[in-house]
Structure 1
Amino acid sequence: MDRYLAHRTEDGRQQELIDHLQGTARLAALFAQKFGAEELAWQIGMAHDIGKYSHAFQAHLCENGLSPDHATAGGIEIGQLNGVPAAFCVMGHHGGLPDGGTSVDGRDSGTLMGRRKKRLEDYQAFRQEVELKRASPKLPTLLGQGRFTASFWTRMLFSCLVDADFLDTERFMRGTPAARGQGERIEALCAKLDGFVAHWWDPDRPIDQKRCSILRECMQKGERQAPGLFSLTVPTGGGKTVSSLAFGLYHARAQRLERVIYVAPYCSIIEQTAEKFREILGPENVLEHHANVDLSDDPVKKLAAENWDMPVVVTTAVQFFESLFANKTSRCRKLHNIAGSVIIFDEAQTLPLSYLEPCLRAIAELTVNYGSSCVLCTATQPALGPLLRQISPLLRCREICSGGDELYQFFRRVRFVRVGPLTDEELAKRLNAEKQALCIVGTRKQAQAVYHLLRGEGNFHLSTLMTPSHRSAVLEEIRARLKDGAPCTVVATSLIEAGVDVDFPAVYRSMAGLDSMIQAAGRCNREGRRALEQSRVWLFEPEDRYTAHLPHSMLRPLAAARGVMERWEQIDAPEAVEAYFAELYRLSGPELDAKQIVPMLEKRGDGLYPFRTVAENFHLIDQDTRQVLIPVGEEAQALAARLRSGERSRELLRRAGRHMVNVYPDHFKALFCLEFLEENLAVLTDLSWYDRDTGLKISADTGVGIFI
């Protein structure tokens, strides 16, 4: 053959294979420059599609024949020259990184070792146009036993290849480059931030003076500190959202980093944070990326969500960490754009305990080997020092904000008062005597029970049995009543503790982990308008029936909190918080890596990592839930009709998610008033099963929030 093709469009345009290989190699090398692997990335790019040099593939392309496997050939060739990591990248560039497998795996097993045994079409014509070479990349600093480091490096190389492949193919198929790489330079964003806060300086109120002091220190430290691992410990009310952004932008400018990535645990925090960042920097510079955001009407942002090619990205911990342990091309292609970034982990104490060790390993790799600066940002800083030192003695966390105890005393707004055991009736009697109060309990069952005991006007209930749109409407009414000084009593599960901006004069909290109780206190006297003695957080023991069957994941924080409360009266004191987390991690032990993600990767001395198995096991949130759409209101009814007609798209499901309740399988099966659209998706057909106050009527035994 005189010409070998990579792609062919419906209108007959053709892309020569050598052009695609060179275009992909050029981009992959550019992406890998950030971690010194550009030479190897070039070779991987040149090898990834050499299987297309077979007559069978060319017949598929030009004569609509069967599509043969074209990735295995390149994986074998590049692997012989550059080892297992390069072989993984090329073999996985369509179907995702496979498991490494063993030498006894059959050719149809799907593992890397098995695929090496496949019978391939003759592709040797590639040697007429392509010369593959051995590369000498800069190798990463080994952390731990070093094998986790090697697996992380492989996944980063994979990201460079698949994003480059997507982009070069996209450019050809469109006929013109897509609108990518949008947004202004970091220098321009710093100027926008300076303009936004210009009128904040020299305030009259002491609290605003302190906030300005924190903001100024974040700017100064951002400019002066070398890249690395940081903590930003700012009490509630200290303005850490804007201050952390200021550190990120100033640090990125000084160190020539490419972007700021803001990672938060809950969608409620994400939405508020993204809105604030858009206000400061302009919507064109901020990508909000999580399961609930609909980008269908913004083609530029929709493209940016594929590889995070924007100057500021706001996302969830689920999206961030699951991508770092993913094997699919769609999830991994953004990873190289995490390198060379400032990454801010808001509410760092909420990193899931059962995945804490692999999450810390990922943070360590990004800090040591990929030129990123990582910031652990919270009012209740977890005691991660000992865990980080186990990974590497190179990891030292530098605090950005000075004056820890003085700041704590200044921003202290509440008094914690322990009242011992309370029955539901006793708790409701106390709440009924308050004009405005928030009560947070540990289970949905108790939330409903206490809510039904409330008397008078202005009573509200919040839990995950209500749809997100329903909760948003209730929160809007709650805020209006609080602002007007009207009677307002709210009973909620822990979903209200983080990222929900409400301010009550009194808060009641059932005993829980120390960080949860402190988060609850953040909903009391939030703006500091009341005296300390007038703002109390009442801590109580719920009835035994609500705690008897709690999972160990909830009992361990409770045990650690009780131990600390025996020694400290003011539980939000910095030393009490540090002692709590140290005890919690001690009690958790092996449960800090419940799915054994790190051992799965560290034990493979042969480099044949189980990438697919790791991805299947790494889920920060329990995925075993089913979705029930509640067709209340015109929008929900219209979305239900579209789903019933068989329409499916990511954008449609995201919009419908605002009107859905996620339930566990047993509850899903028990609801007989459902129209099943898919195995895990149904529409509620009898709306009497959805209460306008408390949501879906199912057994409400657990209070664990479901956030995606």
Structure 2
Amino acid sequence: MDDDIWAHSANETGRRHGLAEHLRGTADRAGKFADVFQARAVAEYLALVHDVGKASCAWQDGLRKAQQHDGPVGIDHKGAGTLLASTRGLDVLSAVVLGHHGGLPSLTSLKEALRRATGRERAVVDEAIERASALVPEIASSPAPEWPAWTGGAASDDIEMLVRMVFSTVVDADFLDTEQHFADGRSRPPHPLLAAAMAERFEQGRAALLAGNDPSPVDEIRRAVYEQARAAAEGERGIYRFPAPTGAGKTLASGGFAFHHARAHGLRRVVVAVPFLSITDQNAGVFRRVLERDGEQPVVLEHHSGVEIDAPGGRGDLRAPTLPWQKLAAENWDSPFVVTTTVRLFESLFGRRPSAMRRLHRLAGSVIVLDEVQALPDAMLIPILSALRSLTDHFGASVLLASATQPTFWKLSPFKDVPLRDVIAEPERLYTDLRRVEYQWRVDPQPTAEEIAAEIAQERQVLAIVNTTRKAQELHELVTSEREQGPNSVFHLSTRMVALHRKQVLHDIKEKLHDDEPVAVVSTQLVEAGVDLDLPVVYRAKAPADSLQQAAGRCNRSGRLAVGKVVVFQMNDDESETKVYGQAAYASDCHIGEDRADPDDLKALDSYYTDRFTLKGVETTGREIQKYREKYDFPEVARRFKMIEEHTAPVVVPWGDERDQDRCLAAIHEIRRGVPYAGALLRELRPYMAAIPRGTARKAVDDGLAEPVIGDLIHWLGDYHPERGIELADSNTYIF
């Protein structure tokens, strides 16, 4: 009888998955994954016992019935393995077993589960352990697994990170072993390349890429920046700061640092995280051109956030069709180079669900490049920096913090005693050498919107950036009516346009700039970080120092002019700066302005960030999440950790030609039907998504201008302006 104990139902060939085979296969994988951070013993044992509860007669009967009716077993099986882990001295790590389907629990829930396992469920638990141990004797006979040596006396937030990383190894191993069974024994081979072996490939690809670029007056400075990044890569593993003004070649220099650092320390992968989807697409495209070769398996995995369905019950016992490399690799980041968003990275890192967390162990022994770190949310900085420190102190990772406006993170508690390693030896000199603009101020007296629009309309090539979508709409209308070159030379960019529309507009803008045609662009802040635009004149609505400098990075970017012009303005009817930026605006005014320092003054920037973090209570706010991390309350951490304040709702608009529109409508229909592949359809809809305020979305549904699709996603039925997208005359909510 014990020989017929199964872990999963039969695959397409009729073969069932033996429990012993599954436990040992999962343990072998998990142990190898955790070996990178010296936790092989605990990961192996937790994986070995994770499904012991399936050995009970009740669960085996349930599996047979479930297979007949093609449904779930519906019987909890986690108690036995949780109890075994606890009795082996694994303490809070026992939560890995308890949460391997539904998600990491709280410490209170773990204790309650152990009480049940030793109380009213004791008979079933003992039966499962006895039957499983007959098949896999090491379940009961093996000695207690040793914790990693560094855990002796470690801080509780470091132990909490260990739980997360071990959980990741176990659930990924569980997914992969189950997947292999349903693929009739065909295992998914690991990616053949590691980042440590790709430094020369990167050098060759970079040289080929640069050979095709037009020469620029700043090329020599970019070369010097790159050489400094390569030299810094030979340093010890840890946290590095990379301050580099826009136009310094930061993207390729970051990649050069990452791959040479990986080679120096034998690291497995490079993970680049950026704050905005527009930069994700752009950076992934650059690195594909540098790293990928025709006829070879892809190297660059682009994996970012969007609307997704993550079933709270975990994977279940489903048979999925074969999926392309991009989808499979995205599940667990099995690629030597990953481009993702900071939202995806950190909300996974502080989440609790298996499907999101299974990839986290790939961060161990990796180089993590955080681009545009000034965009990390202030309220989340303390847990973010604490996690980065844990990853570098105990999990073999290195972190590169890249930004033109480098925040004073080393003055915050998690980094106060972390060695400061700078990629650029003399940042002040670099900023002086790359200064390509002069600032002008139109803030006292404050001009009217009509006056600013008239100024902008007179410029042959100009970018104007405002703080809200409402102001972008208004200013675009005014500039269009004033501009002598005609409306075809005026463009609009905001999140009220679907992503594909914005992409097309950016392409058209770049074409006009390349052909030296007249062009005026009115945009929200979405163009500020990483979007590769280069105009001789930039108008920027008043904002904090980091936003002003990022905006200036779109002006005279390639240094072909003697000096570019950046005009900071504040219209007399515009209070958006304080409403959007709050205390950051006040902190900036103390140091940056017409009679004070310019936004690219590094000393003034340091003072601005220090005051901003103090005024916004960054330490106090961050301690709230840290408190729950120290209590091992994983659900509460996941609930409180939010990279983005959810003020907007995603809106799908069937945009484009007739074929695109039909495709959108068909996908919307299928999602509403509840098809099991809805997640894939949602990914297909991302190019057709815009964003509007949540309150406006609800009102639009009530008024018949939109209808629900799934979750907070709505289908827009109202008008869509061919230049500005969704127009909301009654909305005064601020969207970035």
Give me the TM-score of the superposition, normalised by structure 2.
0.88
- For residues 619 and 398 of structure 1, do their structure 2 counterparts lie closer, same or farther at Cα, with a shift above 3 Å needed? same
Tell me if the contact between 2:26 and 2:177 (Cα under 8 Å) persists in the aligned partners. Answer: yes
Q: Please say which of residues 451-460 and 695-704 is displaced more in the overlay.
A: 695-704
1:204/1:543 CA distance change after superposition, 3 Å: closer
Provide the residue aligned with 1:555 in structure 2.
582
- CA distance in structure 1 between the partners assigned to 2:571 and 2:451 by the alignment: 10
Aligned counterparts, 1:89-488, within 5 A: 89-101=96-108, 119=121, 121=124, 122-123=127-128, 124-128=130-134, 129-130=136-137, 131-132=139-140, 133-140=143-150, 146-198=155-207, 207-222=218-233, 224-282=234-292, 284-291=298-305, 299-387=324-412, 390-391=413-414, 394-420=417-443, 421-454=446-479, 455-456=482-483, 457=486, 458-488=489-519
| Deviation digits for residues 504-531 of structure 1 (CA, Å, limit 9, x no counterpart) | 1111111111110000001111111111
The reply on whether 1:601 has 2:638 as its aligned counterpart is no
Secondary structure at 2:733 match in 1: coil
Alignment of 1:669 with 2:702, yes or no, is no
CA, structure 1 residues 293+233, in 2 after alignment: closer, same or farther (shift >3 Å)? farther
CA distance in 2, matches of 1:697, 1:117: 61
Separation (CA, whole Å) in 2 of partners of 1:270 and 1:491 = 22
C-alpha deviation, 1:191, in angstroms: 1.7
Extract unaligned runs of 5+ from structure 1. none
The 1:549/1:539 distance shift into structure 2, 3 A limit, reads: closer
- Given residue 714 of structure 2, which amino acid in structure 1 is its aligned partner? A
Shift of 1:352: 0.8
SS of the residue corresponding to residue 2 of structure 2 reads coil
Q: What is the deviation of 1:592?
A: 6.6
Match of 1:78 among 79, 85, 89: 85
| Cα contact 1:497–1:520 (8 A) shared by 2 | yes
Assess if the C-alpha contact under 8 Å between 2:428 and 2:602 holds in 1.
yes
Residues of 2 paired with 1:196 and 1:175: CA distance?
Answer: 39
CA distance in 2, matches of 1:488, 1:290: 31
Higher mean alpha-carbon deviation, 517-526 vs 13-22, is at: 13-22
Shift of 1:683: 2.3
* Residue matched to 2:315: none
SS in 2 for 1:622: coil
Could you tell me the percent identity over the aligned residues? 34
Partners in 1 of 2:648 and 2:215 — Cα distance? 51
What's the offset of the Cα at 1:481?
Answer: 1.8
Confirm or deny: 8 A CA contact 2:378 2:618 kept in the other structure: no
Q: 1:314 to 1:655 in 2, by over 3 A?
A: same
Q: Taking structure 1 as reference, are residues 523 and 395 closer, same or farther at Cα in structure 2, changes over 3 Å only?
A: same
Paired residues, number: 683
Counterpart of 2:691 in 1: which secondary structure? strand
Superposed CA offset, 1:398-425 (max 9, x none): 0012221221111111011122122211
Cα distance in 2 between the residues matched to 1:357 and 1:678: 33
Q: More deviation in 259-268 or 78-87? A: 78-87
Q: Which moved more, 1:160-169 or 1:592-601?
A: 592-601
Shift of 1:639: 1.5
Residue range with higher mean Cα deviation, 213-222 or 566-575: 566-575
Q: Are positions 1:618 and 2:641 aligned together?
A: yes
> Which string of whole-angstrom CA distances, capped at 9 and with x for unpartnered residues, describes residues 434-482 of structure 1?
1111111112222112221122321122111111111112222222222
How far is 1:180 from its partner?
3.7
Instruction: Report if the CA contact (8 A) 1:179-1:300 is conserved.
Output: no
Mapped to 2, the partners of 1:333 and 1:112 lie a distance apart of 25
Structure 2 residue 713 is matched with structure 1 residue 690: no
Q: Hey, what's the Cα distance between the residues in 2 that align with 1:42 and 1:197?
A: 41
Match of 2:713 among 681, 691, 700: 681
The answer to whether the 8 Å contact 1:211/1:239 transfers is yes
Structure 2 gaps, min length 5: 68-72, 309-320
With 396-405 and 588-597 compared, the bigger mean Cα shift is at: 588-597
CA contact (8 A) 2:273 2:370 kept: yes
Aligned with 1:501: secondary structure? coil
In 2: Cα distance, 1:206 partner to 1:549 partner = 38
CA distance in 1, matches of 2:571, 2:74: 63
Q: Is the 8 A contact 2:195 2:270 kept in 1?
A: no
Name whichever of 652-661 and 517-526 sits farther off.
652-661
Is contact 1:25-1:44 (8 Å) kept? Answer: yes
- Alpha-carbon deviation of 1:85? 2.3
Name the CA shift for 1:88/1:316 in 2 (closer, same or farther; >3 Å): same
2:33 pairs with 22, 31, 48, which one? 31
Cα distance in 2 for partners of 1:205, 1:451 equals 31
Alignment-derived partner of residue 5 in structure 1: 6
Do 1:629 and 1:640's aligned partners in 2 also have CA atoms closer than 8 Å?
Answer: no
TM-score using structure 1 length: 0.91
Q: Give 1:549 shift.
A: 7.2
Query: Does the residue aligned with 1:449 lie in a helix, a strand or coil?
Result: helix
CA distance in 2, matches of 1:641, 1:574: 52
Query: Taking structure 1 as reference, are residues 230 and 115 closer, same or farther at Cα in structure 2, changes over 3 Å only?
Result: farther
Residues in 2 aligned to 1:99 and 1:16: alpha-carbon distance in whole angstroms: 31
Q: Please say which of residues 94-103 and 446-455 is displaced more in the overlay.
A: 94-103
Q: Distance in 2 between matches of 1:176 and 1:239?
A: 47
CA distance in 2, matches of 1:384, 1:117: 49
Distance 1:323-1:215 versus aligned 2 partners, 3 A rule: same
d(CA) in 1 for partners of 2:583, 2:404: 21
CA contact (8 A) 1:419 1:538 kept: yes
CA 1:154 to 1:653, structure 2 compared with 1: closer, same or farther past 3 Å?
Answer: same
d(CA) in 1 for partners of 2:634, 2:434: 46
- 8 Å Cα contact 1:141-1:368 kept in structure 2: no
- Please, which moves more after superposition, 486-495 or 514-523? 486-495
SS of the residue corresponding to residue 178 of structure 2 reads helix
- Aligned match for 1:45, one of 38, 44, 47: 47
Q: 1:20 to 1:380 in 2, by over 3 A?
A: same
| Deviation per residue, 1:248-282 (Å, 9 max, x gap) | 10110110111111111111111111111111110
Letter paired with 1:87: S
Give the RMSD, CA atoms, in angstroms. Answer: 2.6
Give the match's secondary structure for 2:599. coil
1:629 pairs with 2:626:
no
**Of 617, 620, 632, which aligns to 1:589?**
617
Q: Distance in 2 between matches of 1:166 and 1:529?
A: 53
Q: Aligned letter for 2:686?
A: G
Residue 212 (structure 1) shift? 1.4
1:327-379 Cα offsets, whole Å, 9 max, x none, are: 10011111111011010100111111111111111111111111101010111
Q: Note the C-alpha offset of 1:24.
A: 1.1
Deviation at 1:26, TM superposition (A): 1.3
The AA in structure 1 aligned to 2:373 is A
Describe how 1:13-24 pairs up with structure 2 within 5 A.
13-24=15-26
Q: Any conservation in 2 of the 1:600–1:614 contact (CA below 8 Å)?
A: yes
1:193–1:548 CA distance, 2 compared to 1 (3 A): closer
